[in-house]
Amino acid sequence: ILNVEQSPQSLHVQEGDSTNFTCSFPSSNFYALHWYRWETAKSPEALFVMTLNGDEKKKGRISATLNTKEGYSYLYIKGSQPEDSATYLCDNTDKLIFGTGTRLQVFP
């Protein structure tokens, strides 16, 4: 993988469902990975910074894991709410490269 890739591109879930999506990145020369939430008409806002293989971070219903050896990070949302609707971006801060994001829509 030469660039940061995110999947799926978009996701529609019902309120209360749990969901997860993936950020894949080059595993060589890894320094850190950030997850951001970007709500419509707002600025991207940092969720997590992850640096060590096996890192797990949690903020409320949102958590993330990191596997630097295989080059991926998962973001999980437990019990999705309409206010979780946003685009979730990850970046490989070594090269300041962002993925194209996963656009999440949560329907009430």
Partner 1 sequence: KAGVTQTPRYLIKTRGQQVTLSCSPISGHRSVSWYQQTPGQGLQFLFEYFSETQRNKGNFPGRFSGRQFSNSRSEMNVSTLELGDSALYLCASSLVKGDQETQYFGPGTRLLVL
Q: Could you tell me which stretch among 15-23, 29-37, 57-65, 75-83 binds partner 1 (CB under 8 A)?
A: 29-37
Which of 105, 80, 72 is CA-nearest to residue 5?
72
**In this chain, which of 2, 83, 96, 108 binds partner 1, going by CB under 8 A?**
96
Please name which of 97, 87, 74 lies closest in space to residue 1, comparing C-alpha atoms. 97
Phi, psi dihedral angles at 35 (to 5 degrees): -110, 135
Of the candidates 14, 15, 16, 45, which one interacts with partner 1 according to CB under 8 A? Answer: 45
**Phi, psi for 104 (deg, rounded to 5):** -105, 130
- Rounded Cα distance between 33 and 54, Å, is 13
17 part of the interface to partner 1, by CB under 8 A: no
Of 66, 86, 89, 104, the one binding partner 1 by CB under 8 A: 89
Residues contacting partner 1: total by CB under 8 A: 21
11 is written with which tokens? 């996701």
Closer of 13 and 49 to partner 1 (Cβ): 49
The residues of the shown chain that bind partner 1, judged by CB under 8 A, are 31-32, 34, 42-46, 49, 51, 89, 91, 93-101
